[in-house]
Amino acid sequence: MQKIRNIAIIAHVDHGKTTTVDKILHSCQTFRENHEAGELILDNNDLERERGITIVSKNVAVQYKDVKINLIDTPGHADFGGEVERVLKMADGVLLLCDAFEGAMPQTRFVTQKALSLGLKPIVVVNKVDKENCRPDEVYEQIFDLFFNLGATEEQLEFPVIYGSSKNGWMSTDWQKPTDNFFPLLDTILEHIQPAPYNEGTLQMQITSLDYSSFVGRIAIGRVARGTIKENQPISLVKRDGSVVKSRVKELYTFEGLGKIKVSEVKSGDICAVVGIDGFDIGDTIADFEKPEQLEVISIDEPTMNMLFTINNSPFFGKEGKFVTSQKLRERLYKELEKNLALRVVETEQPDAYLVYGRGILHLSVLIETMRREGYELQVGQPQVIVKQIDGKKCEPIEVLTVDVPGDVSGKVIELVTQRKGELLIMEPKGDLQHLEFEIPARGIIGLRNNILTATGGEAIMAHRFKDYEPWKGTIPGRSAGVLISMEKGQTTAYSIDKLQDRGRFFVDPGVDVYEGQIVGEHIRDNDLVVNLVKGKQLTNMRASGSDDNVRIAPAIKFSLEECMEYIQADEYIEVTPQSIRLRKIYLTENERKVNAKRFVTE
């Protein structure tokens, strides 16, 4: 029996997954006494730290009681499901983390279903039991019901439960008896998770994740399923389509702490990183040189949404970005395909525009935000859901939407969701909140979050997961208000914004450069209005003292990238540059917009 345990950690966004891994690393004294590690060690890119979510799966390994525990941190958001599905292949068990108040959320359900179907043994950790009005016992019951509904085996239903507070650094088998360390959790992992088995035979290893180094190029990461892999060993790479490419392992690494250490061989059951193999993709099998045998190919759920990516052709083109040509855009999108399994890129009739398919708005916005930070300038169109023909019927993706809101505003939420063809399925109290569950077309969710947060004073907690394709639900009303469009290129003035404040709310402050066709605000009516924000005050020599000082302008509304994606309509683009996010009409002059108006009349 090998002294190795492989365990994946799954949880909903913000239930304390990354903090738990931090504390396990500290408990096993992975760091030197004088080493300042900080917090959220695994969320190592800026986007993950800012949003507080895990986007890319990471591997770390710790030593506890002479046993090596490989920990795999997985994303919690359903939009990154492609990342989760393949990573679970490396694990023998899962640690399911739940918030002691919120309980199991829809996206936890999504990942748990994948884990249970692979036959992994679960350990449940009820986290944040130090919070006010937490309900650990109810959450335990809820998770048992969830496992039962997902078709867990009897062995999986006999799961151990640990209670604790990752933030305060303790875990215990009884939530009313806190300890002062994390050892009860680590002991439970050793006791309940099977040691990684050693399978005799010829080499088999599936590539489930990849890393990149500027020195050695792409690095294949996976778990050795059978046999032993050695340094300098000749191997066969079996591609997804069954074709075989001969290659050689140059270097081998296993994980230790937060880093990797070089080794000469890795036996089956352990997770390793392989350097020196060219042209591999995720899902390929590294097999024996003479008798290659392929492992089952990883199947990934289909994308549900697409967006048009095109080069920036606005009047401010090239002012801020380093990469602005269609060739650079194309190279970057195809490079993303190598590691982002759930993404698809399709070329369009226009040479400088690409349709990018993804799992949801967050999935696509993370890609756009990453490109923007790398120095790319681009424009993106309105997100569109993918429609399929099933048995001769037009079908669209349907999502299960859950909203937790204070009871006095639940009526507003139900009204907003039903306007978008949502159907209320469940309405029940949850602590001091109302828990609502709907079935709603994926189209209806685009733009819904903003409206619900506005209607509930920011108190709604929303989550949704993909259910299935169902027949088309009919027309959904879009944005109710029109927009204010700039008439001229120039710098906005406080004088003209002040004079137009009764026409709507503005997205720009005084002294900002705008161009003709740029969307500068929201109109109070449902039609678009062209306004001149560049006009200054006519100076005369007659002047009342102090009359210029009392210009009072409401602060401009600033949208995040996701909010922009939910806000725009079919005839609008978001212009994304390293320093700015602007909204604009596709056709900048009023004349062009009138000529092409019929193109954008949707159902």
The answer on whether 301 is annotated among ligand-binding residues is: no
The answer on whether 130 is annotated among ligand-binding residues is: yes
The answer on whether 585 is annotated among ligand-binding residues is: no
Report yes or no: 195 and 246 within 8 Å, Cβ to Cβ.
Answer: no
Region at 482 (left for phi over 0; alpha for psi -120 to 50; beta for the rest): beta
CA–CA separation, 196 and 12 (whole Å): 27
The answer on whether 489 is annotated among ligand-binding residues is: no
pLDDT of residue 119: 86
Neighbouring-strand partners of residue 346? 355
pLDDT of residue 209: 79
At 536, is the secondary structure helix, strand, or coil? coil
Q: Where does residue 512 rank: exposed (0-12), middle (13-18), buried (19+ CB within 10 A)?
A: middle
The answer on whether 179 is annotated among ligand-binding residues is: no
With CA atoms as reference, report the closest residue to 82 among 205, 208, 204, 207.
208
The answer on whether 18 is annotated among ligand-binding residues is: yes
Report yes or no: 28 and 67 within 8 Å, Cβ to Cβ.
Answer: no
The answer on whether 14 is annotated among ligand-binding residues is: yes
Report yes or no: 28 and 94 within 8 Å, Cβ to Cβ.
Answer: no
The answer on whether 127 is annotated among ligand-binding residues is: yes
Consecutive H or E run containing 316: none
Bridging pattern class, strands 483-486 and 529-531: parallel
Give CA separation, 145 vs 66, 104, 225, 431, in Å: 36, 10, 33, 19
Neighbouring-strand partners of residue 433? 406, 430
* Phi, psi at 594, each rounded to 5°: -65, -40
CA–CA separation, 273 and 254 (whole Å): 6
Bridging pattern class, strands 4-11 and 67-73: parallel
Cα atoms in the 13 Å half-sphere on the side-chain side of 3: 7
Q: Which residues, at least 6 apart from 237, have a Cβ–Cβ distance to it below 8 Å? A: 244, 245, 246, 247, 277, 279, 280, 284, 285, 286, 287
With CA atoms as reference, report the closest residue to 255 among 266, 241, 268.
266
- The model's pTM: 0.75
Q: Rounded to an integer, what is the distance from CA 511 to the centroid of its chain?
A: 35
CA–CA separation, 248 and 87 (whole Å): 24
Q: Which residues, at least 6 apart from 5, have a Cβ–Cβ distance to it below 8 Å? A: 67, 68, 69, 70, 92, 93, 189, 190, 193, 194, 195, 196
CA–CA separation, 23 and 60 (whole Å): 13
The answer on whether 266 is annotated among ligand-binding residues is: no
pLDDT of residue 418: 92
The answer on whether 278 is annotated among ligand-binding residues is: no
pLDDT of residue 42: 46
Report yes or no: 107 and 76 within 8 Å, Cβ to Cβ.
Answer: yes
pLDDT of residue 311: 93
Domains present along the chain, CATH in parentheses: 4-192 (3.40.50.300), 204-288 (2.40.30.10), 388-471 (3.30.70.240), 483-600 (2.40.50.250)
b or e along 245-262 (b: 16 or more beta carbons within 10 Å of the residue's beta carbon)? eebebebbbbbbebebee
Strands (E), 431-515: 433-441, 461-471, 483-486, 490-491, 504-506, 513-514
CA terminus-to-terminus distance, the chain: 63
The series of mean pLDDT values per 10 residues for the chain, 603 residues long, is 81 73 75 41 49 61 85 68 72 86 72 82 86 82 86 87 85 81 86 85 85 78 89 89 88 83 88 86 86 80 85 91 90 83 86 88 86 92 89 88 87 91 88 85 84 83 81 83 92 90 91 93 91 81 57 85 87 92 92 84 52
| Tokens, residue 300 | 């990934």
